[in-house]
Amino acid sequence: MSLVSTKAIKTSIIQLIGNTPLLQLVNLEKQLGLQAEIVAKLEYFNPANSIKDRVAASMIEQAEKNGDLTKEHTIVETTSGNTGIGLAAIAAAKGYKLKVYIQDNVSEERTKVIKAYGAEVIPFSEVPELAAVAEEIDGDFVAAINIFKKEVVDKQENVVFLNQLNNQGNPQVHFDTTGPEIWRDTDGQVDIVIASVGTGGTISGIGGFLKEKNPNIQIIAVEPGLNSIASIEEPEIPEITGVHRFSDIEDERVPDNVNRSVIDEVISVETEQANQYARLVARLDGILVGTSSGGILSAAIEVAKRSENEGKRIVVILPDTGLRYLSTDLFN
């Protein structure tokens, strides 16, 4: 007996990516007495639980179309975790091998999840080429990626380095999907969008699309405060994983995917503020998100309290699930 196919049954996790829901945080608004509306785009509804699923699928599919990626290749990427997880899930579904070079200070859940999908995980501290120049690249993750490519990737055979920092598939997928979803699901009634900046793809793609629809939409970027940036001298400073400062550093240290022209304002958030609001939204609205989401909420609350924003709709991009932070102090 042959079964009748139906569009409701998907055949790949890639078909489950995107179309994440919008949720108004009514309890948070009420508790804080906000006169602006805060609407969260919950990216943990993606199949591997973060916004980076979009980027991972986009970069892999583009490499396939270009003929750069075949089953004889191993995919290589550097990440603070979520991109590696997205790549690991999609690589597993497509039958690719994957090697993920990951920052040492990320939560242990990230490493375990990547391994669960069958990918190989290599901490940065186990890469001698990076350890040898650690002081030189202190805090400069763009320089670290360039050295990584030259000293590690280029010396391996049959590998494809996707490099999310300057891969156009990163902002393009947000221009093609995330931005249009926000416009569609708000019926174009959106005044402000707030997102954090790591590689720059999210805010650049969303901002680029929405500015074409309505140039009056404000795009606000969130970056770490000066007291939330670790260094070789102070490595124990708690950071907001995956979020990087960009507003006051040299252009060559900013990822190519950061399109400053679509950003109207930059707000700095300290890690403790980010943790505070991640905890608060969990207890008030039942939304379990990570530190970067908490940082975005902190910025959104600041913006919502401004008198000129009364009655406006603020959409916040919450990138991932709080389940990736249970081994950290976030919910202690």
pLDDT digit string, tens, across residues 59-89: 999 999 999 999 999 999 998 889 999 999 9
Structure tokens at 45: 């509804």
CA proximity to 300, closest of 279, 324, 321, 318: 318
From the list 192, 215, 205, the residue with the least C-alpha distance to 267 is 192
Query: Of these residues, 52, 99, 211, 312, which one is catalytic?
Result: 52
Radius of gyration of the chain (CA): 19
pLDDT digits (tens, 9 = 90+) for 196-232: 999 999 999 999 999 999 999 999 999 999 999 987 7
Instruction: Give CA–CA dist 273/144, Å, rounded.
Output: 28
What average pLDDT score do residues 89-102 get?
Answer: 96
Q: What is the pLDDT of residue 147?
A: 85
Torsion, Cα 9 13 19 22, to 10 degrees, reads 110
Enumerate domains of the chain plus CATH numbers. Answer: 13-47+168-324 (3.40.50.1100), 51-161 (3.40.50.1100)
- Continuous H helices in 193-311: 201-213, 271-285, 291-304
Alpha carbon 331 to chain centroid, angstroms = 20
Residue 141 pLDDT > 80: no
179, 185 contact by CB (below 8 A):
no
The SS3 of residue 57 is helix
Average pLDDT, the chain: 94
* pLDDT number for residue 305: 98
At 291, the amino acid letter reads: T
In the sheet where 192-196 sits, what is the strand order?
Answer: 22-24, 37-42, 313-318, 192-196, 218-224, 265-269
Q: Global pTM?
A: 0.95
- Specify the pLDDT at position 290: 97
Which residues neighbour 37 within 8 Å (Cβ) at sequence distance 6 or greater? 24, 29, 311, 312, 313, 314
φ and ψ at residue 310, rounded to 5 degrees: -60, 130
Q: Is 292 a catalytic residue?
A: yes
Measure the CA–CA gap between 21 and 44, rounded to whole angstroms: 10
Q: Mean of the pLDDT values across residues 156-185?
A: 97
CA end-to-end span of the chain, whole Å? 55
pLDDT, position 57: 98
52 a catalytic residue? yes
Choose the catalytic residue: 107, 196, 204, 292.
292
pLDDT value, residue 145:
85
Residue 254 has pLDDT above 70, yes or no: yes
Question: What per-residue confidence (pLDDT) applies to 253?
Answer: 87
Give the whole-angstrom CA distance, residue 78 versus residue 232.
20
